């Protein structure tokens, strides 16, 4: 296993045709750059001059120029493969770091050698009084949501504490942990990729700390748009893949029951004008969402043989017992009521 300079950080930003957002994200880092830090931009074949802008305005940044869109997972893995830091920080191109963000994450993760991940306090860029997420929670069908999502930030999440995993838009990972368990699962492409990596790390015995003073502001839904049907498909498809790959069999057999309960609760919330389905007004749009969900589940079924082979490989790194996994998921569960009334 390679040796990394203690305390060094590699910050990775993945980009596709978001020149102005990327510039703002990079400026937020360079206004407060800690010593011993490298910055890597992986550009997924942008046509808006993003990569040239980085080379011109941020000459110390290492740039990977892809000729096709590799997606969030593969592009981040490309960055991780060339990163030299002891810690790997991810920052979305649609996020901006507040002063002290990176220092706060490094201080938090350094408190214990078994802490492999650190989560940021992510605020909504358009309304920084409101929380985007502060770590993650999970439902028993594999669907996950940001902890505190949509709440007004009144200091209720200002305590450093254990969380399930960090949101990939602003996270810190121990390089040694990624060497041990592997990087992002590239079959996920985008969405729930951070959930799969984070839960896989927890099964391997690593913990995650939430650092409330590590603050970023995030443009929600800037990647595909909050009303994108492809976004709906990826979220649903990857929910199934995550559960099939990482959940204990005894919980996996009940997946359909929890899934139907979530759909029923979500439909009721939508009729009341709440939750994710409320983003798609009218019965025609709701019908299109239903078609997208079915397409997503069929796509997930086609990938199941490959995912189940990966499930077998998890045994080599898994350190938690089935009961410990149940306790972990129960401790970081999201209620059906909250889940159905939240928007992603």
Span 9-25, pLDDT tens digits:
999 999 999 999 999 99
* Residue 207 backbone class (left: φ over 0; alpha: ψ -120 to 50; beta: rest): beta
Tokens standing for 303? 């990938």
Would you state the pLDDT for residue 206? Answer: 98
Least confident of 67-71, 272-276, 287-291: 272-276
- Cα 83 from Cα 62, distance rounded (Å): 10
For residue 159, give every residue at least 6 positions away whose Cβ sits within 8 Å of its Cβ, in sequence order, or none: 212
Least confident of 171-185, 217-231, 306-320: 217-231
Would you state the pLDDT for residue 190? Answer: 80
Span 87-114, pLDDT tens digits:
999 999 999 999 999 999 999 999 999 9
Tell me what the mean pLDDT of segment 119-137 comes to: 96
Q: Three-state SS for 298?
A: helix
Would you state the pLDDT for residue 292? Answer: 80
Query: Residue 263's closest CA among 233, 220, 293?
Result: 293
Tell me what the mean pLDDT of segment 299-326 comes to: 94
Mean pLDDT of the chain: 91
- Cα 42 from Cα 62, distance rounded (Å): 8
- Per-residue confidence band for 272, with pLDDT thresholds at 50, 70 and 90: low
Query: Residue 223's closest CA among 244, 265, 262, 194?
Result: 194
pTM of the model: 0.92
Tell me what the mean pLDDT of segment 16-41 comes to: 95
**In 10 A of CB 57, how many CB atoms?**
12
Residue 341 has pLDDT above 80, yes or no: no
- Cα 119 from Cα 128, distance rounded (Å): 17
Would you state the pLDDT for residue 233? Answer: 87
Would you state the pLDDT for residue 227? Answer: 59
For residue 307, give every residue at least 6 positions away whose Cβ sits within 8 Å of its Cβ, in sequence order, or none: 187, 241, 244, 245
Structural contact between residues 112 and 306, judged by C-beta atoms closer than 8 angstroms: no
- Cα 134 from Cα 123, distance rounded (Å): 9
Question: Domains in the chain and their CATH numbers?
Answer: 9-218 (3.90.550.10), 229-341 (no CATH)
Per-residue exposure over 8-32, b if at least 16 CB sit within 10 Å of its own CB, e if not: bbbbbbbbbbbbebbbbbbebbeee
Q: Return the bridge partners of 117, or none.
A: 173, 208
Tokens standing for 10? 């590699």
Tokens standing for 76? 């981040």
């Amino acid at each position: 296993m390679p040796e990394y300079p203690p305390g060094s950080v590699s910050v990775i930003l993945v980009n596709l045709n978001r020149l102005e957002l990327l510039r703002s994200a990079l400026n937020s880092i360079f206004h407060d750059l800690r010593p011993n830090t490298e910055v890597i931009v992986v550009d997924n074949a942008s046509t808006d001059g993003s990569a040239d802008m980085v080379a011109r305005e941020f000459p110390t940044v290492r740039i990977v120029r892809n000729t096709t869109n590799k997606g969030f997972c593969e592009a981040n893995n490309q960055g991780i493969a060339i990163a030299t830091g002891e810690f790997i920080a991810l920052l979305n191109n649609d996020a901006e770091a507040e002063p002290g963000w990176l220092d706060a994450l490094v201080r938090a993760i350094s408190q214990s050698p078994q802490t492999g991940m650190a989560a940021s306090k992510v605020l909504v860029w358009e309304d920084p009084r409101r929380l985007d997420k502060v770590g993650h929670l999970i439902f028993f069908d594999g669907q996950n949501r940001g902890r505190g999502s949509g709440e007004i930030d009144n200091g209720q999440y200002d305590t450093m504490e254990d969380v399930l995993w960090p949101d990939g838009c602003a996270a810190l990972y121990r390089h040694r942990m990624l060497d041990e368990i592997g990087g992002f699962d590239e079959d996920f492409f985008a969405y729930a990729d951070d959930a799969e990596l984070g839960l896989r790390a927890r099964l391997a015995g690593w913990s995650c700390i939430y650092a409330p003073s590590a603050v970023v502001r995030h443009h929600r839904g800037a990647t595909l748009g909050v009303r994108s049907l492809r976004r709906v498909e990826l979220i649903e498809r990857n929910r199934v893949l995550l559960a099939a790959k990482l959940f204990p069999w005894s919980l996996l057999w009940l997946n359909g029951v929890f899934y139907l309960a979530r759909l029923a609760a979500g439909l009721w919330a939508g009729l009341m004008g709440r939750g994710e389905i409320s983003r798609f007004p009218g019965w025609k749009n709701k019908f299109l969402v239903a078609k997208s969900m079915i397409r997503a589940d069929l796509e997930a079924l086609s990938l199941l043989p490959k995912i189940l082979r990966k499930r077998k490989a998890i045994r080599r790194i898994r350190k938690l017992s089935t009961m410990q996994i149940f306790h972990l998921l129960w401790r970081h569960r999201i209620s059906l009521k909250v889940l159905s009334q939240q928007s992603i």
